[in-house]
Amino acid sequence: NSNLTKSALYGENPPPGRILCAAGYSDVRLNPKKIDIWLNQFLVVKDGTVIKFSESRVKNSLASYEIEIKIDLRIGKESVAFLTSDLSPDYVRINAEL
């Protein structure tokens, strides 16, 4: 639920480092060297390291209405899914007026 990640996604800017950082801020005990991250169907982090990926293909996939971020911590069989929104200028403006 990182605002930096949400704003990068709104700008269609692939943020694998920001997602990795946000995972580190979670209350989950994890080994950063075991984390894999996908943006839509594209692997962007492997074993805790941002890897080479086609930035143009990932960027194009971020233009879709729904974006899937998958984070595999490789520490168990549990999973969780949730919905959130990006952090667009309209979102900030609407919530600033409340």
Question: Any idea where the domains of the chain sit in the sequence?
Answer: 3-96
- Confidence band of 68 (pLDDT split at 50, 70, 90): very high
> What single-letter amino acid sits at 98?
L
Higher pLDDT, 28 or 67: 67
Higher pLDDT, 42 or 86: 42
Domain 3-96: assigned CATH number: 3.10.20.340
- Confidence band of 84 (pLDDT split at 50, 70, 90): confident
pLDDT score recorded for residue 6: 87
- Give whole-number Cα distances, 76 to 57, 80, 95, in Å: 30, 12, 37
Mean pLDDT in residue range 72-98: 85
Mean pLDDT in residue range 25-49: 93
Q: What is residue 78's DSSP assignment?
A: -
Mean pLDDT in residue range 22-42: 91
